[in-house]
Amino acid sequence: MKKSILRSKLIKIFIKHKLSKKHSKICADYLIKAELVGAKSHGLTRLKMYCQRIQKKLINPKPKIKIRKISSSITHIDADNSIGFVSADVGISKAIKNAKQTGIGLVGIKRSGHFGLSSFYAEQAVKKKLIVFCFTNAPPALAPYGAKKSLFGTNPICFGVPTGKIPFILDASTSIINRGKIRHANKLGEKIPYGVALDKSGKITINPKKALQGTQLPIAGFKGSGLAWMVDILSGVLTGSSHGGKTKDPFDDFSGPQNVGHLFITIDPKVFVGKNFMKEIKRNINIVKRLPKAKGFSSILYPGERKNSLYKKNLKKDISIPQKILKEMDELNVI
């Protein structure tokens, strides 16, 4: 489907679900961006879920987002159960403004929802020549190291830095693969890779349905479990949001709003070394890229490069949408 047609359709669907035109555009643009960077797990496949949660009054389509200035660097936001895209969009703008004013920005957001890819927000800060960290917690998917039961989310860690060229954006779940990929495989009747999830009885499974009932495996064993825990503390405990396994699953748990927490940290890279930063970051990347290549590699990519080239390539093409999702979109358009 042509991007312009898809964008109008999505805006219409969100407006039908009582979002303002401004918020509908924000949501449509982030969903399309996910498709364009090849993250189908965070794109149109989630549209029905967001709309269902609005219909069930678990996402507030007309949030009164409260922005509390704590200092010139620090802001605390109560998102009033807004759709995550909107609260995170407000939050990253504040974090950018704070860092531009003082050298560092810290924004905590509570009572939010699933915000898609962390890189959406990191890219905005990097475009404004800032270093950025984005954290968000997510519903239970990972068993803490030594536990039998899922409790941490796939809690991604995102770090961005301007390079003068393609932004360096490391954006990775603390699980081996993100949960969205398992949900998407389940929806389309596909298998998941071997070794990323266990079923209810603790056996490795490639069946996405069984994986969703079981637990996902963290990156690097206890280290990944520790990192997921760190993200839960930063985005949950610190911001005053849900934590310790209380973040509600947007697909399966309709007992209340998700109460997701996000934390954004923005840093002006000039704070210590002035303009030298840009010179040194370029030098740093060149040193790595010029290393002799391992067997099977023709180049060494830095995080963000692959998605950037995919984005540029996909921008020239229409977006392919599976029949099942097209049907969901049509149904959501007529309510």
Ligand X SMILES: NC(=O)c1ccc[n+]([C@@H]2O[C@H](COP(=O)([O-])OP(=O)(O)OC[C@H]3O[C@@H](n4cnc5c(N)ncnc54)[C@H](O)[C@@H]3O)[C@@H](O)[C@H]2O)c1
> What is the C-alpha radius of gyration for the chain, rounded to an integer number of angstroms?
20
The 131-136 sheet, strands edge to edge: 66-69, 74-78, 104-112, 260-267, 131-136, 157-161, 168-172
Confirm or reject binding of residue 109 to ligand X (CB under 6 A): no
Q: Residues 29, 32, 36, 41: is their CA dihedral positive or negative?
A: positive
Q: How far is the CB of 163 from ligand X (least distance, A)?
A: 13
Pick the piece of the chain touching ligand X (CB under 6 A) from 72-80, 142-150, 152-160, 205-213: 152-160
CB 317 within 8 A of CB 199: no
Question: Which of 43-51, 113-121, 275-283, 315-323 is the region at the interface with ligand X (rule: CB under 6 A)?
Answer: 113-121
Strand 104-112 with 74-78, pairing? parallel
d(CA 277, CA 263): 25
- Residue placing its CB nearer to ligand X in the complex, 73 or 140: 140
DSSP string, 19-58: --HHHHHHHHHHHHHHHHTT-GGGTGGGHHHHHHHHHTTS
The gap from C-alpha 186 to its chain's centroid, in whole angstroms, comes to 20
Question: Which member of 6, 138, 142, 267 binds ligand X (CB under 6 A)?
Answer: 138
Is residue 118 near ligand X by the rule CB under 6 A? Answer: yes
Q: Which among 65-73, 185-193, 195-203, 304-312 is the span making contact with ligand X, rule CB under 6 A? A: 304-312
Residue 117 is a binding residue for ligand X (CB under 6 A): yes
Stretch of residues binding ligand X (CB under 6 A), selected from 15-23, 117-125, 209-217, 274-282 = 117-125
156 binds ligand X (CB under 6 A): yes
Given the complex with ligand X, which of 81 and 118 has the nearer CB atom? 118
Please tell me the count of residues contacting ligand X according to CB under 6 A: 25
CB of 193 to ligand X, least distance (A): 11
- Residues in contact with ligand X by CB under 6 A are 39, 42, 114-119, 136, 138, 154, 156, 158, 169-173, 177-178, 301, 303-304, 306-307
